[in-house]
Amino acid sequence: RDLVRSRGLGDVYKRQIYNIGVIDWSRRLFDELIPLPDGTSYNAYLVVGSEKTALIDTSDPSKPEEFRRGLEGLPVKKVDYVIANHAEQDHSGLIPLVLTKYTGAKVVTNEKCKEILLEHLPLKTEDFIVVSDGQTLSLGNKTLRFFFAPWVHWPETMLTFLVEDRILFPCDFLGSHYATSEVYSDDSQRIYRAAKRYYAEIMMPFRSFVQKHLATVRGLDPVLICPSHGPVYKNPNFILSAYESWVSDDVEPRVLIPYISMHGSTEAIVDHLVNAFVQKKMEVIPLNMSVSDLGELAIDIVDASTLLFATPTMLLGPHPQMLYTMVLTNALKPKTKYLSLVTSYGWGTKVVEAAKGALGNLKAEWVDPITIKGFPKAKDYEAMDRLVDLIVKKHHT
Ligand code: FEO
C-alpha cells in the first residue's frame, strides 16, 4: 500500500536527481493533533554529482523498510552526505539507518540542527559536518548552497539550493500533506487547498518569518521546488504566489462563524447571523466544530477578515470544544481583523472574559460581544442585527 518512489525527476533525470518518496496514504493525524485527510508523504532527494552524492533529508521513522527499498531502487549505490534541513523526526528519523547503510557518510547541517539531532537520535558529534549560512558544498559538477531559514517552523530549519540546476529543497517550507502517486503537482485546487491547510496549521504562527524566507526564495528564482511533503512544484510560481497572498496583511471580507450548539439556542443564533450576513451580501461560513476538523477552520482563518464565535455557556465558560477551538486559533495567530462572540446561557456566564483571555495573541479588534439568556427572543435578534450591521460597516470604512 505504501508507495515507494525512487525515480529521476522526469525531464531533469539526466541531471541525476532522484525523488525517494515514501507515501503514507493512511496516516490521518500528525503530532497526534493535526488531521491529515489526504495522507502525506515524506520525500527525500538524492543529488548525484561527478564526485560526491548527497541525500537531502530522510523519512519518517515509522517507514524504515519502505525507505530502504527506495534507496535500493536507486541506480547509485553510495551516499557521501546526508543533508539535514530540519531536525523533526519525520525527516531526520532515518538518518541513523542511512549512516549504517553507507559507511562514512556524514550529516551536513547547521549547529542548531546538530544540537537538536544529537538530543533526539543515536548520533555522535563526529557524524556531522557543520555549515554556516550561505556556505556551499561541492559535489563535483554540482554545488549545494545552504540558506538558514529559522522558524519555518523550528529554530534550526534551513533550505538547500542546487545552484547549477536552480532547484530548491525547502523541506517542510512550501510543502503539503498530500499523498499522491504523482511526483509533480498538477497545480489543481486540491493541491492548493492541501498546501493552504499545511500553511495554516504549521507555518501561519510564524508569518513574519515566512514573509522573509519567501523573499529569499523569490530571489533565488528556482525552476523546481522539491518539498519534503507532497508533490514537487514544476511551476514554482503556483506555490510562491499562493504563499505571498497568505502572508500578506490583506484579508478577504469574509465572516467565519465557528460554533457549537447543545440544545438548539446557538443553532438558532447562528442561523440568524448567517441569514443577516447573506442579506447584507457579506460572505459567511458557519463551521459546526462538533463535526468539522480543525484543519477546515485553519484553512478559512488564513485570510478571513472576521471571526465570530458562537457557543453555549458550560460551567460558566465556553463549551470545552469551543474553548479548544479558541486556544488553537490563538496559537495559529491568524491575521483576522475583527473578532466577536455570541453566547447563550441559562443562569450565569463568564464566556466573554474567558474568550478574550483565550484569544489574547490576536491583534484583532473585538466588536460588541452579545450574551443571550436562553433561546433568543426578539430583542436578541435585534441585537444580532445591530452586530451584523456594525461588522459590515467596518468593512466599508
Ligand atoms: Fe515535516 Fe516539521 O516536519
| Least confident span in 68-77, 165-174, 305-314, 368-377 | 68-77
pLDDT given at position 31: 81
Residue 86 Cβ inside 6 Å of ligand 1? The answer reads yes
Q: Where are the beta strands (DSSP E) in 64-135?
A: 81-83, 106-109, 128-130
Nearest CA to ligand 1 atom 3: 88
Grid cell 555522535 is found at 124
| Least confident span in 11-15, 72-76, 170-174 | 11-15
Q: How far is the CA of 89 from the centre of ligand 1 (A)?
A: 7
Q: With bands split at pLDDT 50, 70 and 90, how would you rate the model's confidence at 374?
A: very high
Given a cut of 50, whether residue 1 has pLDDT beyond it is no
Given a cut of 60, whether residue 228 has pLDDT beyond it is yes
Q: How far is the CA of 8 from the centre of ligand 1 (A)?
A: 24
CA–CA separation, 352 and 358 (whole Å): 10
Pairing verdict, β 252-259 and 136-138: unpaired
Residue 60 Cβ inside 6 Å of ligand 1? The answer reads no
pLDDT given at position 6: 59
Q: Which helix (H) or strand (E) holds 1?
A: none
Residue 88 Cβ inside 6 Å of ligand 1? The answer reads yes
Contact 80, 96 (CB under 8 A): no
pLDDT given at position 58: 97
Burial 84-103, CB ≥16 within 10 A → b, else e: bbbbbbbbbbbbbbbbebbe
pLDDT given at position 93: 97
Given a cut of 80, whether residue 12 has pLDDT beyond it is no
CA–CA separation, 246 and 30 (whole Å): 22
Our measurement of the distance from residue 165's CA atom to the centroid of its chain's CA atoms, rounded to an integer in Å, reads: 27
Sign of the torsion angle spanned by Cα atoms 368, 369, 373, 379 = positive
Pairing verdict, β 252-259 and 34-35: unpaired
Contact 44, 74 (CB under 8 A): no
